[in-house]
Amino acid sequence: MLDDTNVLRQRDPGHVLEHVSKLYADTRWQPALEQTDHDDRELKNIVIAGMGGSALAANILITLLKSWFGIPIEIRRDYELPGYAWQNTLVIATSHSGNTEETLACYAQARERGCEVAVLGVGGSLLEQAADHGTMIARIPDGGQPRMATIKHLKALLAIFQTYGLIDSTLTDEIEAVHDWLLDETAQWHPDVPVHENYAKQLALLAVGKTPVIYGGSLTAPLAYKWKISFNENAKNTAFCNQYPEFNHNEFIGWSSHPVEKPFAVFDIRSDHDRERIHERMELSDRLLSGLRPKATVVHLAGDTLMAQTLWGCILADAVSCYTAVLNNVNPEPVELVERLKKELS
């Protein structure tokens, strides 16, 4: 089925798979910030307010920075800012649509409390307010779903951090350096590549008809979350994620008994930059749970650097989940229930 061009055309009318095959090009997109003046105040902490796919890049950024960045960063997926967010807090409100009500609430609170504020998105109310208030804006080009704009969101966040003098261009340079390599790698997942040569199609065939459960380690937990979101929104499929070593302190035991029938597809996302102890835990857990849960499929991230592996894993997540959507006979593009929920709430 996945090699049948007529089926792909019928079940992917918005050509989302073609869009996924071009995501590598986002590594060369250059964010242009607006209203960049700021007062050089001391920043003691950073809050990134965002929901769903709009917060994915923040997850990744924190992981990339955590071994050396000296300022605490928190992601806020809520209507409320943390109590410590005041004048010495940088609040970055990120909403791809610009109309996410939780993010708009955090933006309003940040201004009321006198925080340093920047925003990121395509347009909508958030960017309209920011333009009126003279707030720093990182504008994302329109087109595509927020879950597939992760690379652009990441580059925009890095540009904001650079503008405040928090980091240099090293991470941005790393993103741009993998353009040609990502082009070659992701071309192997193109719809024209047959199943026996297409890793993304092979993983989709493992996931179809099941609930994917994705595990990451200390450095790959954001990718596990990205895979979860992609299965949820592209394939319209329940999916869950967790992180090692936390998994071994609770969920590990949950697999040992009920429910007896376990229609799951388990994926372990592994990076050779993660601690060897994480790999040992994944392997030992899979062995100890033999016969109690499906055997884990290990997804070994390609690439020399953590950045390269992360971007490779992000694009693979979208490719796998879109092929799963085809197998599920659903359109990978719309998220109609989300839109309906927003309409009902308004």
Neighbours of 131 (CB within 10 A): 15
The pLDDT assigned to 338 comes to 87
Those residues whose C-beta lies under 8 Å from the C-beta of residue 141, and which sit 6 or more positions away, are 29, 122, 152
Tokens of 152: 């652009």
Average pLDDT, the chain: 97
Residue 334 C-beta-side C-alpha neighbours within 13 Å? 8
Q: Which amino acid is at 46?
A: I
Greatest CA separation for the chain: 60
- Count CB atoms within 10 A of the CB of residue 207: 25
Over 90: is that where the pLDDT of 146 sits? Answer: no
The residue segments making up the domain with residue 34 are 22-177
pLDDT tens, residue by residue, 181-216: 999 999 999 999 999 999 999 999 999 999 999 999
pLDDT per residue as tens digits for the range 282-332: 999 999 999 999 999 999 999 999 999 999 999 999 999 999 999 999 999
With respect to residue 275, please indicate whether it lies within any of the assigned structural domains: yes
Tokens at residue 78, please?
A: 């809520």
Instruction: Work out the average pLDDT over 171-177.
Output: 98
* 128 and 196 assigned to the same domain: no
- Is 44 found in the same domain as 170? yes
Q: What is the tens place of the pLDDT at every residue in 22-39?
A: 999 999 999 999 999 999
Q: What is the pLDDT of residue 85?
A: 98
Q: What is the DSSP code string of 211-228? A: EEEEEE-TTTHHHHHHHH
Percent of the chain with pLDDT over 90: 95
- For residues 135 and 193, state if they share a domain: no
Average pLDDT of span 109-135: 98
Residues ≥6 apart with Cβ < 8 Å to 241: 213, 214, 215, 216, 221, 224, 225, 227, 228
Q: How confident is the model at residue 145, as a pLDDT? A: 80
Residues 169 and 200 in one domain: no
Picking from 143, 177, 211, the residue at the C-terminal end of a domain is: 177
- Residue 20: name the closest of 189, 134, 204 by CA: 189
How would you class 202 by CB atoms within 10 Å of its CB: exposed for 0-12, middle for 13-18, buried for 19 or more? middle
- Count of residues for the chain? 346
Q: Which domain CATH number covers 109? A: 3.40.50.10490
pLDDT surpassing 80 at residue 144: no
CA distance linking residue 163 with residue 34, whole number of Å: 11
Cα 257 off chain centre by: 31
Tell me the catalytic residues. Answer: 233, 249, 342
Look at residue 121 and give its three-state secondary structure: strand
pLDDT (tens digit, 9 = 90+) per residue, 120-132?
Answer: 999 999 999 999 9
Residue 339 in this model has a pLDDT that exceeds 90: no
Looking at residue 11, its pLDDT comes to: 97
Q: Is the pLDDT of residue 87 over 90?
A: yes
Name the domain count of the chain: 2
* Same domain membership, residue 29 and residue 151: yes
Q: Looking at the structure, do residues 51 and 170 belong to the same domain, yes or no?
A: yes
pLDDT tops 80 at residue 143:
no
Record the pTM: 0.97
What angle, rounded to 10 degrees, do the helices at 306-328 and 179-187 form?
A: 30
Flag whether 315 is in a domain.
Answer: yes
CB 299 within 8 A of CB 266: no
At residue 346, the pLDDT reads: 81
